[in-house]
A = this chain, B = another copy of it.
Amino acid sequence: MTGFADEEGVRFASTLLGSRAVAGTFVESVLGVKDDNGISMRDALSQFGLDPDHIGAAARARSELLAYVELHIEQGPVLEGLNLPVGVVSAIAGATRLAASLTGVAGHAGTVPMLLRRDALSGAAECIVEIEEFCRTDPDGLVGTVGYIHAMPGATNVIPGQVSFTIDIRAPTDAHRKLAVADIVRRIEAIAKRRKLSLQLDVTHENRTVPCAPWLKSQVSEAIKAEGYRVFELPSGAGHDGMAMIDIADVGMVFVRCRGGVSHHPDEHVDTSDADAGARVLLRLIENFRPRGAE
């Protein structure tokens, strides 16, 4: 049993810190990244009494581990919709994140006729509507999100000359996600071209899909059944430490229902009885555990 430091990447915008160290894939250059106050990860670790130069010693070998199984809230609304307290995770969906920047021409909101405008925010808005429509009409679980947007100069009476926004694309398989990203990029390029906006589009993050091991999925299913619940399998749209641990162990996951699918928000909530159900499934799994090949 373990807990990993900073899976989310909140302070240094770099994810899976603890699990990457254990998997032996910690990237040393991340130590130089600074937080919003200009403190590097290296200094933060030192100030906390840790030795950044010993991170390599945390690495474990595949031969030391039987499996990696994680218990987590779903962070989505599927189990709640099915009235199930727990579920078996089929795979951790890969994700591609892009940073987009559109540059047009700033101008006075009252004096530039509509047909002479090169409004970066109108262009970004068209991209956002297009991304949503493209994902909404996908039959296979594609999701696309623009979570951040910044328009400059950002005044009521000025046509925005530059807009930055992020794009997060996830799908149950890598092939599906990559095709979708290529298609979305083409659509954004076409919008920028038609509106005479210059476009900067960079991939900032790319995570492969991590499938859960069939032998672990079946033991998780058995534990759920043994606790008296219906077995339901669903993918994880969110990233988890299993994405790092797959390098040194087979991965399994148990999901616990949460309220309204809300996560990363003060309203995130799990009923105590559901947390209990998840803990009992995990305990049952450990008690009945048979290593791979010994099934």
Q: Which residues of A are at the interface with B, using a C-beta cutoff of 8 A? A: 74-78, 93, 95, 97, 105-116, 119, 121-122, 124-126, 128-129, 132, 135-136, 138, 141-149, 151, 153-161, 166, 168, 170, 236-239, 260-265
- Beyond A129-B125, A151-B148, A263-B107, whether A77 also contacts B112 by CB under 8 A is yes
- Nearest Cβ in chain B — how far from A56, in angstroms? 29
Once the chains are docked, how many angstroms separate the CA of A237 from the CA of B151? 22
A166 nearest in chain B by CB position = B156
- Nearest Cβ in chain B — how far from A6, in angstroms? 15
- Beyond A108-B75, A112-B261, A125-B125, whether A148 also contacts B156 by CB under 8 A is yes
- Beyond A146-B121, A151-B148, A262-B105, whether A141 also contacts B113 by CB under 8 A is yes
Chain B residues near A149 (CB-CB < 8 A): 121, 149, 151, 154
- Beyond A106-B262, A107-B261, A108-B76, whether A148 also contacts B143 by CB under 8 A is no
Chain B residues near A132 (CB-CB < 8 A): 114, 119, 122, 125
Is B143 touching A147 in the complex (CB atoms < 8 A)?
Answer: no
Is B111 touching A121 in the complex (CB atoms < 8 A)?
Answer: no
List the number of copies, as a whole number. Answer: 2
- Which has the most chain B C-beta neighbours within 10 Å: A107, A115, A170? A107
Chain B residues near A158 (CB-CB < 8 A): 145, 147, 264-265
- Beyond A112-B77, A114-B135, A116-B77, whether A265 also contacts B125 by CB under 8 A is no
Is A155 touching B111 in the complex (CB atoms < 8 A)?
Answer: no
User: Contact partner of A109 among B107, B110, B145, CB < 8 A?
Assistant: B145
- Nearest Cβ in chain B — how far from A32, in angstroms? 21
Q: What are some 22 contacts across the A-B interface (CB < 8 A)?
A: A76-B111, A93-B110, A97-B156, A107-B261, A107-B262, A108-B238, A108-B261, A109-B143, A110-B143, A114-B135, A114-B138, A116-B261, A121-B147, A121-B149, A122-B132, A122-B146, A125-B125, A125-B126, A145-B157, A148-B156, A157-B238, A158-B265
- Beyond A157-B168, A262-B107, A263-B108, whether A122 also contacts B113 by CB under 8 A is no
A163 nearest in chain B by CB position = B149
Is B151 touching A147 in the complex (CB atoms < 8 A)?
Answer: yes
Once the chains are docked, how many angstroms separate the CA of A125 from the CA of B133? 12
Chain B residues near A262 (CB-CB < 8 A): 105-107
Once the chains are docked, how many angstroms separate the CA of A158 from the CA of B266? 13
Chain B residues near A115 (CB-CB < 8 A): 136
Chain B residues near A153 (CB-CB < 8 A): 147, 264-265
Once the chains are docked, how many angstroms separate the CA of A236 from the CA of B111? 7
Chain B residues near A75 (CB-CB < 8 A): 108, 110-111
